[in-house]
């Protein structure tokens, strides 16, 4: 067996966290050491995630770097991890954002630095575990265990309403996920009925043929858990509370990675495990996503609190991702995965900026600011780039993702795409308006006159997000290419002709047959979409992939 | 000779209890014999004897089985007992509890519990039940100066005797139909009745069910639980909420899944209704409690409900799951009560939620371990509580009881709410409550650390214990 790279990536932060606990407490005398050590560990983990990227073969759709060990044989439970093009970038994103989150809390977190760093690193381990798990039991363990450190991060280091927000966060998320747990057990039981033994192996469960009614129920159980996590309208109410009350590092990780676990779950589990039910429910989910896009944008517009504004903008942006997934075609899925990364970078960056302002002035009210351009031009420049990235300005990362998801959505349900597109405009309205009120105009508030500009430490925290916003906007293919084979296989799996489909009406069966032939033609020549060259190229054979008559 | 081998674990515990009692009366004035240490040795010996008997499936005197099922429960009981004694040391000194009686009664209680787990005859089960119950009644009221303790003990005793009478009636009716009180003969007779069960049999079944439901504090026979748990010394509450439950469930499983297995279709609906009511009531009422002892009392009622889910499913997964659950819950709950007991004194009981305020600042290690116990009770991974709940719900889903499983997981989310209230107090509250308790001795800390380690062990690498639990129920019923 080769070097267990993925396990190292997952457990390195956990070991690091335990190492931190071993440092004796002495009246905060060693906070500097603890901060440095935690940052060092998180940077090491980032390097490890980059090694995963290096080791990854971008031409294959298979799971790679797979490790598989029996864990609880009585139930066919395995320690089974692997990475494909979809999870690859989420792992790198997690590695990328955690050091930034730690840097951002260098001075904001004053009490119990050791415990804070412990929980951040433990959280990172949990998130990485979610992204690499290929066994549903293992996945659920990471999925649920990860709530605990986040709960403490919000509850101990958050703002005034932190306890309420922390409890709401954990109960909301748990209520959704326990039903998924029942469905996971149900799947294993179905596997046992079909083959005589239990299995939680995702790849084996993909092969199960499940009767439509059961599929629907199981899909709904999975989708609810993920919809709450995303959060999809109307399950989003925990998010503004959690975001506003969380410390900066918590918000960065929450927006940057945690929400992605919901959409990742839809892509990895809910859709491919129950394709018939998924395609059946997709229009409904897509509609909710579009409602979320518009609703989130409208609510964001009227927020007086910057952090809350960014939180609601997340509801809106995450809607695009869900819409892309529901479209269930290559463009939609690729756009969704890409948008997950974009949102992590740009919203993570925005929360960093808001945190820096809040560190200086201890307020996040937009009305308290104004004319910041005159006192801290560097911070404002960074703020501008991230704002533009968030509103999907061409040339920056947000554009590519939103464009792809909208294109996918248009090929699926033009009306939904049209309504969703208004979200793009609205995002420009609320983001630019906020930017204008905070940074432009006269410097009216005397308290803002002496604010220092970005310190080197803050540069180190915000700089990488700026670089990534540009890089991901200019050379999207660097990121899209490795995920393309996995996305293609996923889309084919969703639309493959299945025995269960025989129940549908005659003309659908004809359509499905067409799909299969189209799939055969393109299977060999899968290419990533080269957006920067010919954005509108839609391969005719791919168009036939849609189940639409 | 095999007769004595089969009852060896029980015998060791009983002898230790007697030695403890005698040792106290012979100890020189002012000089303290470490009675707790004696108990620890006895329990460790009993656990060792149980391990040595593993897989031999002996029968003692025709009424006592030393099968893997009983041995698994024995080890669970020994673990509970060892933890209880480790936590008892400072409590007994601090609250001036007569130590000879205390340790002897604890050990007698455990011997009764072990008898109950292995008994294969209804009459012996009844005797074991009484041995166990009488010890626990006295332990509940062992603080003679405490009014609450006296009230709790009296209430527990009255209601307990009442339920014993039900149980005894159940045995009588069973005997009237079958002509024997041996479980295997009951099963054989009931299986042979082609034209459905008679009224007499159903009556016997119902009476036995009431008796067991009382002992495992299932709704609607749970009324005594919060009062008894609140009034008893905290460390005793930990002991009786786990030991009594484990023993009663062991006998419950044995009687209902062997002797009355042929009537599964008759009792399953009733037990599932009880299970649902128990889970729902235990968690929802638990939310409203400010006294942590009462809160954990309702929580332990709810855990009884989760265990009943395994009984309803009645498949091999369910049986093994219940054994695993009893171990996980036993270790966790006894440790949670133990932490509270270690923090309280006679004048300042550490019982209200507010008393936990800022525990993190005062005693970071204790707070961290208490958090682990609470998260395990709430069933969050990667703790023992998660695997245990997962196990019984898996059993229910396997038999198609989706409704019960869904109610089970949703109520466990509710329960997380009140467990987290304590965590909130410990970690997130601004104010810091006074710390009444003096030093916590190393032995007690070691007990807590042991429990924490066990919880993570059972939560992360449960394979070995799951395999043992599966072996315990194989070919048994």
Residues 6 or more apart whose CB falls under 8 angstroms from that of B279 comprise: B302, B305, B306, B309, B407, B408, B411
* Nearest CB to A178 within list B409, B428, B463: B409
Q: What is the mean pLDDT of residues A77-86?
A: 91
From chain B, which residues contact A within 8 Å (Cβ)? Answer: 364, 375, 380-382, 386, 390, 393-394, 397-398, 402, 405-406, 409-410, 412-413, 416-417, 420, 424, 427-428, 461-463, 466-467, 470
> CA-based angle A143:A96:A141, to the nearest 5?
10
pLDDT at A176 over 60: yes
DSSP state of A66: E
- Mean pLDDT, chain B, as a whole number? 91
Instruction: Identify whether A407 is part of a domain.
Output: yes
Task: Tell me the nearest-neighbour CA distance from B275 into chain A, angstroms.
Answer: 18
The per-residue DSSP string of B418-447 comes to: HHHHHHHHHHH-SS-------PPPHHHHHH
Which residue of chain B has the CA closest to A217? B402
Torsion, Cα A372 A377 A378 A382, to 10 degrees, reads: 60
**Could you report the per-residue pLDDT of B38-67, keeping only the tens digit for each?**
999 999 999 999 999 998 888 888 889 899
Query: Which of A225-229, A234-238, A518-522 shows the lowest per-residue confidence on average (mean pLDDT)?
Result: A518-522
Q: Which of B380, B402, B430, B471 to mutate to test the interface with A (most CBs of A within 10 A)?
A: B380
pLDDT of residue A538: 40
Taking CB atoms and an 8 Å limit, are B413 and A171 in contact across chains? yes
**DSSP secondary structure of A493-547:** HHHS--GGGGGS-HHHHHHHHHHHHHHHHHHTT-----TTT-TT---HHHHTTS-
For A58, phi then psi, to 5°, come to -70, -5
Sign, CA dihedral B148-B151-B154-B159, equals negative
Does B157 or A508 have the greater pLDDT score? B157
Q: What angle, 0 to 180 degrees and rounded to 10, lies between the N-to-C axes of helices B264-287 and B292-313?
A: 160
- pLDDT category at A448 given cuts 50, 70, 90 is confident
d(Cα B5, Cα B65) in Å, to the nearest integer?
A: 11
| Shortest Cα distance, chain B CAs vs residue A190, angstroms | 9
Asked whether residue A436 is domain-assigned, the answer is: yes
Cα(A39)–Cα(A44) distance, integer angstroms: 9
Does A74 sit within 8 Å of B420, measured CB to CB? no
Instruction: Work out the pLDDT band at A503, boundaries 50, 70, 90.
Output: very low
pLDDT in tens, B250-294: 999 999 998 898 888 889 999 999 999 999 999 999 999 999 999
Q: Could you report the per-residue pLDDT of A150-167, keeping only the tens digit for each?
A: 999 998 888 888 889 999
Average pLDDT of A113-122? Answer: 90
CB contact (8 A) between residue B394 and residue A167? no
- Measure the CA–CA gap between A125 and B381, rounded to whole angstroms: 14
Do B437 and B320 meet the contact criterion of CB atoms below 8 Å apart? no
The Cα B384–Cα B77 span in angstroms is 17
Do the Cβ atoms of B406 and A179 come within 8 Å?
yes
Two tokens at A22? 């071993």
C-alpha pair distances (Å), A143 with each of A57, A138, A150, A215, B11:
27, 8, 12, 22, 47
Q: Which of A73, A148, A166 is closest, CB to CB, to B375? A: A148
pLDDT given at position A519 = 37
Contacts of residue A437, Cβ cutoff 8 Å, sequence gap at least 6: A366, A367, A369, A370
When pLDDT is averaged across residues B451-471 and rounded to a whole number, the result is: 93
Contact A73 B463 (CB under 8 A): yes
Task: Report the residue from A170, A175, A185 with minimal CB separation from B420.
Answer: A170
Q: Count how many domains chain A has.
A: 1
Residue A500 inside a domain? The answer is yes
What's the mean pLDDT when you consider all of chain A?
85
SS3 content of chain B, % helix, strand, coil (to 5): 80, 0, 20
Which chain B residues are Cβ-neighbours of A118 within 8 angstroms? Answer: none
pLDDT-above-90 percentage for chain B: 68
The model's confidence at residue A499, banded by pLDDT at 50, 70 and 90, is low
High-pLDDT (> 70) share of chain B, %: 98
Using pLDDT thresholds of 50, 70 and 90, give the confidence band for residue A520.
very low
A90 Cβ contact list (under 8 Å, min separation 6): A131, A257, A260, A264, A340, A341
Domain contains A398:
yes
Q: Count of CB atoms within 10 A of residue A538's CB?
A: 15
What is the pLDDT, as a whole number, of residue A531? 40
Q: What are phi and psi of A283, to 5 degrees?
A: -60, -40
Q: What is the dihedral of CA A278, A281, A286, A288, to 10 degrees?
A: -130
Q: What pLDDT is stored for residue A502 in this prediction?
A: 40
Q: Which residues in chain A are closer than 8 Å to B398, comparing Cβ atoms?
A: 185, 189, 192
Number of H helices, E strands in chain B: 21, 2
3-class DSSP state for residue A172?
helix
Q: What is the mean pLDDT of residues A495-508?
A: 51
Q: Which of residues 251-280 of A touch B (CB under 8 A)?
A: none
User: Interface pTM (ipTM) of the complex?
Assistant: 0.92
Structure token digits, residue A228: 């709450």
Residue A535 pLDDT:
38
Subunit contact A72:B380, Cβ cutoff 8 A: no
Looking at chain A from residue 2 to 31, which residues have their Cβ under 8 Å from any Cβ of chain B? 25
Whether residue A516 lies inside any domain: the answer is yes
Main-chain dihedrals φ then ψ at residue A70, nearest 5 degrees: -65, 140
Are B241 and B296 in contact, with CB atoms under 8 Å apart?
yes
DSSP A69-103: EEEEGGGTEEEEEEE-HHHHHHHHHHHHHHHHHHH
> Is residue A351 assigned to a domain?
yes
- How sure is the predictor about B395, in pLDDT bands with cuts at 50, 70 and 90? very high
Q: How far is B396 from chain A (nearest CA, A)?
A: 10
pLDDT at B30: 65
Q: Is A74 on the interface with B (CB under 8 A)?
A: yes
> Tell me, what's the pLDDT at B373?
96
The DSSP H or E segment spanning B59 is: strand B58-60
Cα separation, B66 vs B71, whole angstroms: 6
Look at residue B111 in the predicted model and tell me its pLDDT. Answer: 96
Interface mutation vs chain B, best among A119, A140, A151, A185, most B CBs within 10 Å = A185
Q: Which residues of B touch A74 (CB under 8 A)?
A: 463, 466-467, 470
Closest-CA residue in chain B for A74? B467
pLDDT-derived band at A498, boundaries 50, 70, 90:
low
pLDDT of B196 over the 50 cut: yes
For A234, residues 6+ apart whose C-beta sits below 8 A from its C-beta are A288
Query: How confident is the model at residue A495, as a pLDDT?
Result: 87
Cβ pairs A/B, distance under 8 A: 79
For B56-111, the pLDDT digits (tens) are 888 888 889 899 999 999 999 999 999 999 999 888 888 888 888 899 999 999 99
Rounded average pLDDT over B182-209: 88
Q: Rounded to whole angstroms, how far apart are CA atoms A440 and A381? A: 12
Q: Is residue A335 part of a domain?
A: yes
Scanning A362-413, the segments in alpha helix (DSSP H) are: 377-390, 397-412
Q: Is the CB of residue A63 less than 8 Å from the CB of residue A11? A: no
Q: Which residues of A touch B424 (CB under 8 A)?
A: 155, 163, 166-167
Question: Which residue segment(s) compose the domain that A458 sits in?
Answer: 331-549
Q: Which of B224, B247, B240, B338 is nearest to B292 (CA)?
A: B338
For residue A403, being part of any structural domain is answered with: yes
**Which tokens sit at B133?**
């119950």
Query: Which spans in B179-291 are helix H?
Result: 183-192, 199-215, 224-231, 234-239, 245-254, 264-287
Q: Residue A67 belongs to what H/E stretch?
A: strand A64-72
Name the token pair of B71.
């041995």
Comparing CA positions, the residue from A100, A103, A156, A108 lying closest to residue A357 is A108
Which residue among B380, B412, B467 places its CB closest to the CB of A148?
A: B380
CA distance A315 to B370: 36
The partner residue sitting opposite B381, judged by closest CB among A25, A144, A186, is A144
Q: What is the pLDDT of residues B172-195, one digit of tens each?
A: 999 998 999 999 899 888 888 877
User: pLDDT (tens digit, 9 = 90+) per residue, A523-540?
Assistant: 334 444 444 333 334 443
Give the minimum alpha-carbon distance from A395 to chain B in angstroms, rounded to a whole number.
Answer: 43
């Amino acid at each position: 067996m080769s070097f267990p790279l993925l396990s190292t990536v997952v457990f390195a932060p956990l070991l690091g966290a335990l190492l931190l606990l071993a440092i004796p407490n002495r009246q905060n005398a060693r906070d500097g050491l603890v901060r440095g050590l935690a940052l060092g560990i998180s940077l090491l983990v980032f390097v490890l995630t980059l090694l995963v990227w290096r080791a990854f073969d971008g031409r294959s759709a298979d799971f790679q770097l797979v490790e598989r060990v029996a864990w609880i044989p009585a139930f066919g439970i395995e320690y089974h991890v692997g990475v494909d093009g979809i999870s690859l970038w989420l792992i790198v994103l997690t590695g990328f954002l955690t050091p930034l989150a730690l840097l951002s809390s260098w001075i904001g977190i004053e009490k119990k630095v050791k415990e804070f760093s412990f929980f951040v690193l433990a959280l990172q381990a949990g998130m990485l575990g979610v992204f690499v798990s290929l066994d549903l039991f293992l996945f659920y363990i990471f999925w649920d265990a990860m709530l605990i450190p986040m709960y403490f991060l919000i509850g101990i280091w958050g703002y005034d309403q932190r306890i309420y927000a922390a409890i709401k966060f954990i109960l909301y998320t748990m209520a959704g996920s326990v039903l998924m747990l029942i469905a996971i057990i149900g799947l294993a039981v179905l596997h046992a009925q079909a083959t005589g033994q239990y299995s939680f192996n995702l790849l084996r469960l993909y092969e199960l043929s499940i009767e439509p009614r059961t599929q629907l129920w199981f899909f709904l159980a999975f989708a609810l858990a993920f919809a709450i996590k995303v959060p999809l309208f109307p399950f989003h109410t925990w998010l503004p509370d959690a975001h506003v009350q969380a410390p900066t590092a918590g918000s960065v990780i929450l927006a940057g990675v945690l929400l992605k676990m919901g959409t990742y779950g839809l892509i990895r589990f809910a859709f491919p495990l129950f394709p018939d039910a998924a395609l059946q429910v997709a229009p409904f989910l897509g509609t909710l996503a579009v409602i979320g896009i518009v609703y989130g944008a409208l609510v964001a517009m009227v927020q007086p609190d910057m952090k809350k504004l960014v939180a609601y903008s997340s509801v809106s942006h995450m809607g695009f991702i869900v819409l892309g997934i529901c479209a269930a075609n290559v463009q939609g899925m690729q756009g969704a995965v890409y948008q997950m990364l974009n949102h992590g970078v740009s919203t993570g960056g925005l929360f960093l900026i808001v945190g820096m302002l809040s560190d200086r002035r201890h307020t996040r009210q937009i009305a308290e600011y104004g004319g910041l351009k005159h006192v801290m031009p560097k911070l404002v420049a960074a703020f501008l780039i991230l704002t533009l990235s968030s509103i999907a300005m061409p040339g920056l990362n947000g554009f590519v993702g939103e464009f792809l998801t909208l294109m996918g959505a248009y090929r699926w349900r033009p009306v939904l795409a049209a309504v969703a597109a208004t979200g793009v405009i609205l995002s420009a309205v609320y983001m630019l308006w906020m930017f204008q009120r905070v940074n432009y105009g006269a410097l009216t508030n005397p308290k803002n006159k002496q604010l220092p500009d970005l310190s080197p430490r803050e540069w180190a925290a915000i700089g990488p997000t700026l670089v990534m916003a540009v890089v991901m906007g200019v050379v999207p293919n660097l990121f899209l290419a490795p995920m393309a084979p996995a996305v293609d296989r996923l889309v084919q799996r969703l639309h493959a002709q299945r025995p269960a489909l025989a129940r549908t009406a005659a003309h659908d069966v004809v359509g499905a047959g067409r799909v299969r032939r189209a799939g055969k033609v393109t299977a060999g020549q899968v290419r990533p979409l080269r957006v920067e060259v010919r954005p509108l190229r839609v391969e005719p054979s791919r168009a036939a992939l849609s189940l639409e008559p | 000779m095999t007769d004595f081998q089969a009852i060896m674990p029980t015998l060791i515990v009983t002898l230790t209890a007697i030695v403890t009692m005698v040792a106290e009366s012979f100890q020189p004035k002012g000089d303290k014999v470490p009675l707790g240490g004696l108990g620890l040795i006895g329990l460790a010996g009993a656990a060792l004897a149980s391990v040595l008997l593993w897989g031999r499936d002996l029968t003692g005197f025709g009424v006592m089985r030393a099968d893997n099922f009983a041995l698994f429960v024995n080890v669970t009981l020994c673990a509970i007992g060892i933890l209880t004694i480790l936590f008892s040391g400072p409590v007994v000194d601090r609250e001036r509890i007569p130590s000879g009686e205390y340790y002897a009664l604890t050990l007698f209680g455990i011997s009764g519990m072990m008898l109950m787990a292995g008994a294969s005859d209804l009459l012996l089960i009844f005797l074991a039940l009484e041995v166990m119950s009488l010890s626990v009644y006295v332990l509940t009221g062992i603080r003679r100066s405490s009014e609450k303790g006296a009230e709790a003990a009296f209430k527990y005793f009255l209601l307990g005797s009442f339920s014993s009478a039900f149980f005894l009636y159940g045995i009588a009716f069973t005997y009237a139909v079958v002509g024997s009180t041996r479980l295997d003969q009951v099963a054989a007779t009931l299986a042979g009745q082609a034209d459905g069960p008679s009224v007499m049999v159903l009556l016997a079944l119902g009476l036995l069910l009431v008796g067991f439901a009382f002992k495992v504090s299932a709704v609607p026979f749970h009324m005594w639980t919060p009062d008894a748990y609140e009034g008893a010394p905290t460390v005793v509450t930990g002991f009786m909420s786990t030991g009594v439950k484990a023993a009663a469930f062991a006998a419950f499983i044995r009687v209902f899944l062997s002797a009355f297995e042929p009537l599964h279709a008759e009792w399953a609906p009733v037990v599932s209704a009880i299970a649902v009511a128990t889970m729902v009531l235990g968690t929802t009422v638990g939310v409203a409690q400010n006294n942590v002892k009462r809160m954990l009392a309702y929580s332990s009622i709810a855990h009884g409900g989760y265990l009943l889910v395994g009984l309803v499913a009645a498949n091999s997964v369910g049986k093994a799951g219940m054994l695993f659950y009893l171990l996980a819950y036993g270790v966790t709950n006894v440790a949670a009560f133990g932490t509270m007991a270690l923090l309280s004194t006679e004048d300042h009981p550490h019982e209200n939620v507010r008393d936990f305020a800022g525990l993190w600042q005062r005693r970071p290690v204790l707070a961290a371990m208490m958090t682990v116990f609470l998260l395990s009770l709430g069933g969050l991974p990667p703790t023992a509580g998660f695997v245990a709940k997962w196990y019984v719900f898996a059993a229910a889903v396997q038999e198609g009881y989706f409704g019960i499983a869904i109610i089970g997981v949703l109520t466990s989310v509710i329960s997380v709410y009140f467990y987290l209230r304590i965590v909130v107090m410990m970690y997130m509250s601004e104010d810091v409550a006074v710390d009444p308790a003096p030093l916590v001795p190393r032995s007690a800390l070691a007990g807590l650390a042991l429990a924490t380690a066990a919880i993570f062990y059972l939560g992360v690498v449960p394979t070995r214990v799951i395999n043992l639990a599966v072996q315990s129920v194989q070919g048994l019923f």
